Amino acid sequence: MRYAHITGWGKFIPERVMTNDDMAKLVNTSDGWIRKMTGIGQRHLVGPKDSCATMATAAALEALDVANISAAQIGMIIVATSTPDYAFPSTACLVQDALGADNAGAFDLSAACSGFIYALGMAADAIKAKSVDYALVIGSEVMSRVLDWTDRNTCVLFGDGAGAVVLQGSDQPGGVLSTVLRADGSGGDMLYVRSNYNSMPETVQAAEVVQSNGGPGSEAPSCNGYLKMNGREVFRFATRILEHATRDVMYRAGWQADEIDVFVPHQANIRIIDSAAHALGIPTEKVFSNIEHYGNTSAASIPIAICEAASLGRLRPNDKVVMVGFGAGLTWGAAAVEWGTPRILNRTNRTLNRVRLGAAGMRSRARRAWRRMEDRLAGADDTTHSPPKAPHPSHSHEKSNNGHSTDPVPTEKVPLKAEERDASKL
């Protein structure tokens, strides 16, 4: 029987920090209120040189180092993200190109905050089916670009970052033993970001399909691509579903709650995490949470937490680990993982991976140059398009694919909207 083991992990956290006190300068809130209601103390935001793809690549490179393998050995790359730099090409393809992973298939997966668990389950299944031997699973999010920075109910919650793991096939029992992936589209109106693809005729817009059900399409396009959330309903859903998904995945793995060594939930709200752990009977010392430092990084939250837990020595060989997440869709999922023995970091391989990264960049530029030369030789018009590049947040005139400035954070407090619901509804 084939097993899928996590043998490498890595993360990328942007340098820019926004504390709760900084948030209080923008919207009517306070450090005390945010900490009490969410457990968040600060969050990190992308800088001028950061993008969904660059963060994903940095996290992936670190995961390859820990796994002591090269990008050429990877057979599949999945990037879980709701905030890609482009509608297409996928972020995963940009990562594949940057790493020089010539033997990998690559695609993005959209399941919001549940995305990493979904991607982990798909990659593990591919390994167990012997489709690939190595897979790279990444969660990368630039949530700051889809936030309404005048809405104190949502902008205080989210941060940016990326995390990645390497899965390796083995005949040795362990690794990802079971996964649960579920969805309920009837709750789509509870948490969403409307796309700005409004140039198509209204008669064929997908929003029309859900309009009659009071879903996201029932709101006028003034939503403008910002995140919208019904905080109370999401909170109730999350507190129920984390417990149910965890019990389901434990049952499939043949585990009991008292056997769990480390519980790694999606980092959305400390009250949700505490409620789920209490319902499951999992003591606080077995729960790993870093929400205070990063906020909700959506699909990146679980892999970032896994990286930190591993670096702090919280994950030991043969530990029974449960990862569980929930998100827009509505979606939810969980994974039961028997942690393996960490490898000793090979510094030579780390150096070689950096050399390969540079070579991959040169190879990519050479291939683009060759295609342009072929066009000229074929007599095509010399109207080439620039290759996809990471958006540059420091350029205020640049727009993201949601139509926003790539650095939408205001520099001063915005007056509270009269129609804004009370923040206590979170």
Active-site residue list: 113, 266, 296
Would you give the DSSP letter of residue 412?
S
What's the number of CA atoms in the CB half-sphere (13 Å) around residue 381? 2
Task: Using the structure block, give the residue that is written with the tokens 């298939």.
Answer: 105
Q: Are 28 and 152 a contacting pair, CB within 8 Å?
A: yes
Here the tokens at position 77 are: 């790359």
Please list the residues that pair with 333 across neighbouring strands.
Answer: 181, 325
Local structure of 255: helix, strand or coil: coil
Tell me which residue has tokens 């490179």. Answer: 61
**Nearest 5 degrees, angle CA 293-CA 294-CA 299?**
150
Residue 264's nearest CA partner among 204, 318, 307 is 307
- Name the packing angle between helices 91-99 and 52-67 (round to 10°): 50
The C-alpha torsion from 227 through 230 and 231 to 236, rounded to 10°, is -130
Nearest one of 125, 334, 315, 306 to 250, comparing CA atoms? 334
The C-alpha atoms of residue 67 and residue 167 are separated, in whole angstroms, by 9
**To 5 degrees, how large is the angle CA 80–CA 3–CA 183?**
40
